Structure 1
Amino acid sequence: MWITSSLETIKTPTVIALGNFDGVHRGHQRVIEPVAVAARVGLPVLAGAVHGVSSETGSFGTDAAPIPTVVTFYPHPQEFFTGQRRLLLTPISEKAQYLQTLGIEQLVLLPFDWALANLTPQEFVEQILVERLQARWISVGQDFRFGRKRAGTIADLQRIAAQYGIPVEVASLHLHQGERISSSAIRQALSQGDLNRANQLLGRPYTLVGEVITGKQLGRTIGFPTANLQLPDDKFLPCCGVYSVWVKSAELGQQPGVMNIGYRPTVDGQQISVEVHLLDWSGDLYGQTLTVSLEQFLRPEQKFTSLDDLKAQIQRDAEQARLGLAAQQV
């Protein structure tokens, strides 16, 4: 995966999916997946010749093979305009991993500043999509807006791109049980502990990816050693509580576990922490990067009157997690 935030180092020509794509959820995948297909097998047969494309063969003519590319904005436009930090479902490294599994080879992070924000829709297409990206084909979602004050509509994009012979594919909104799939809906579900809904909208379990760092090692004193995860600063955390999880790493393979997100009120914790206890494994995990897939929300975080009460509850949590995860494998 080639990742660049410089307009000077973009690999061209491109076929592109254009949007923010935080979460790379099922709706986003409808926009992204056709890009990899178009790059691999050529465009669908089009009515009439277009720039660089044969309408008879659906190929890209004599041009170099286009790079399947996702084009997004960094920082998020909402963060830029409000000045408030925006936590992400998929920070850049995590987003890149998911995009790669979809066949995307390049991630372009357009630096969102006042210069970019003030481009008119016409200027954005001409200067960014045509000149810099040398786009041959564009895929967007039905609700995509662009240009100064979000003035550009899908119809504007299709009209302006057509002036340069660039087809624009529009993916319809994706619904799940009548609900529109969106990053906002996933955030809301995670904040409410509705992990089942969040995972259904994502099309996969929500994951946390972080390095194991040294903690206070209090878990060892009650027989439940935990791995403390250091996550990216801009990672969105679900609500505090206890979760059943699958834990993966190159060294571990996949192991069942139980995870706590919270402030550890029983031991007067002051900062939020993410701690994972592996159910069927023991050893040194320091320095390893773990991918933790959240499978079930077990209970909210609570304060216990003693460490013995905490230990007894963790034992119950571990058994509940073990049963739930085992049922998945049947």
Structure 2
Amino acid sequence: MWITSSTQQALTPTALALGNFDGLHRGHQTVMAPITRGALGENSPLISTVVTFDPHPREFFSGQRRPLLTPLDEKVQQLEAFGIEQLVLLPFTQALAHLSPQAFVEDILIAQLQARRVAVGADFCFGRDRSGTAAELRAIASPHGCEVLITPLHCQGSERVSSSAIRQALAQGDIASATAGLGRPYALQGVVVQGQQLGRTLGFPTANLQVPDHKLLPCHGVYRVEVVGDCLGKSPLLGVMNIGRRPTVGGELQRTIEVHLLDWTGDLYGQKLTVYLDKFLRPEQKFPSLAALKAQIAADCQGARV
């Protein structure tokens, strides 16, 4: 997939989906569906493109780093799997934030990206002070021969699927709701680094996973997970993951992510793993002794097999 932060280097003409797309959940997938290569047809000259903003507008205005459901590497993987050919990361600057809705559509989408089809969600807002609506986008773009497709909000039962709702579900350990909203299990990707090796002394060796600093982590606790990696073979392996600060052994300033693989032994240092969250087993807790901790880990492993 072609990735660029410059509209001058973008492949054109385009059929594009426009939005922030953090999580690439079911609602985002519905927005993107009409601009994939499969939807356009193999002979279409249009380049299937997702246009998003870097940094996230909320991060730009607040000045605070925003943890992401899908950091760039993960976003690229998901977009490629969905059939997107190009990702344009528009630098979100003060100048971009001050563009009027008409200038944004005519100067960036039509003139620079040569958009012939634009897909957005029904709640999409853009331009100075978020004053532009999806209906206004259609009114501005249509005279230029650009088709605008407005996708209704995607709901799960009576609840709207959104990045915010998925974040909240992960914060509460509601893995089932997060999985349903995403259309896939929430995943943590990272490299195995050396830890204190306490798990090994307890009989439950763990892989300490280092994930990107801006990756959103679920609530502290123990999870049933499935793990994949080039070093693990073709089938996912069952495991138990703990996220927290290790209160039983004095605590940590930084959160740690420790994964114990059931029925597997080997050296994982330096290996890249993807850990898929399947079920929240219990909150993090402090035990009165290492023996009590060991007994609980054994119970967690047994619970993960059920």
What does 1:1-330 correspond to in 2, within 5 Å?
1-37=1-37, 40-41=40-41, 65-252=45-232, 253=234, 254-270=236-252, 271-323=254-306
Name the aligned partner's letter for residue 210 of structure 2: Q
Mark the runs of 5 or more structure 2 residues left unpaired by the alignment.
Answer: none
Distance in 2 separating the partners of 1:305 and 1:155:
61
**TM-score (normalizing by structure 2):** 0.96
Q: 1:310 aligns to what SS in structure 2? A: helix
Mark the runs of 5 or more structure 1 residues left unpaired by the alignment.
Answer: 43-58, 324-330
Name the aligned partner's letter for residue 279 of structure 1: L
Q: Is the 8 A contact 1:39 1:68 kept in 2?
A: no
Using the TM superposition, give the Cα deviation of residue 37 of structure 1 relative to its aligned residue in structure 2, in angstroms.
4.6
Note the alpha carbon deviations across 1:215-249, whole angstroms, 9 max, x for none: 11111110111111111111001000000000001
Name the aligned partner's letter for residue 244 of structure 2: G
Using the TM superposition, give the Cα deviation of residue 4 of structure 1 relative to its aligned residue in structure 2, in angstroms.
1.4
Distance in 1 separating the partners of 2:5 and 2:196:
38
Q: Is the 8 A contact 2:37 2:84 kept in 1?
A: no
Q: 2:196 aligns to what SS in structure 1? A: coil
Q: Is the 8 A contact 2:34 2:40 kept in 1?
A: no
Distance in 2 separating the partners of 1:288 and 1:38:
34
Distance in 1 separating the partners of 2:275 and 2:177:
18
Using the TM superposition, give the Cα deviation of residue 267 of structure 1 relative to its aligned residue in structure 2, in angstroms.
0.8
Q: Is the 8 A contact 2:38 2:83 kept in 1?
A: no
Distance in 1 separating the partners of 2:149 and 2:76:
22
Q: 1:160 aligns to what SS in structure 2? A: helix
Using the TM superposition, give the Cα deviation of residue 179 of structure 1 relative to its aligned residue in structure 2, in angstroms.
0.4
Distance in 1 separating the partners of 2:281 and 2:302:
11
Identity %: 62
RMSD: 1.2
Distance in 1 separating the partners of 2:302 and 2:85:
42
Q: 2:164 aligns to what SS in structure 1? A: helix
Distance in 2 separating the partners of 1:198 and 1:133:
34
Distance in 2 separating the partners of 1:193 and 1:248:
22
Q: Is the 8 A contact 1:242 1:260 kept in 2?
A: yes
Distance in 1 separating the partners of 2:199 and 2:113:
51
Q: Is the 8 A contact 1:174 1:181 kept in 2?
A: yes
Distance in 1 separating the partners of 2:178 and 2:31:
20
Q: Is the 8 A contact 1:15 1:39 kept in 2?
A: no
Note the alpha carbon deviations across 1:254-291, whole angstroms, 9 max, x for none: 21100000000011122211110000211011111111
Name the aligned partner's letter for residue 67 of structure 2: L
Q: 1:27 aligns to what SS in structure 2? A: helix
Q: How many residues of Structure 1 are paired with residues of Structure 2 in the alignment? A: 303
Distance in 1 separating the partners of 2:299 and 2:47:
51
**TM-score (normalizing by structure 1):** 0.89
Note the alpha carbon deviations across 1:59-93, whole angstroms, 9 max, x for none: 75xxxx22111000010000000111111111111
Using the TM superposition, give the Cα deviation of residue 7 of structure 1 relative to its aligned residue in structure 2, in angstroms.
2.3
Q: Is the 8 A contact 2:33 2:39 kept in 1?
A: no
Using the TM superposition, give the Cα deviation of residue 6 of structure 1 relative to its aligned residue in structure 2, in angstroms.
2.0
Distance in 2 separating the partners of 1:38 and 1:312:
52
Q: 1:163 aligns to what SS in structure 2? A: helix
Distance in 2 separating the partners of 1:117 and 1:39:
31
Distance in 2 separating the partners of 1:298 and 1:75:
34
Distance in 2 separating the partners of 1:9 and 1:163:
25
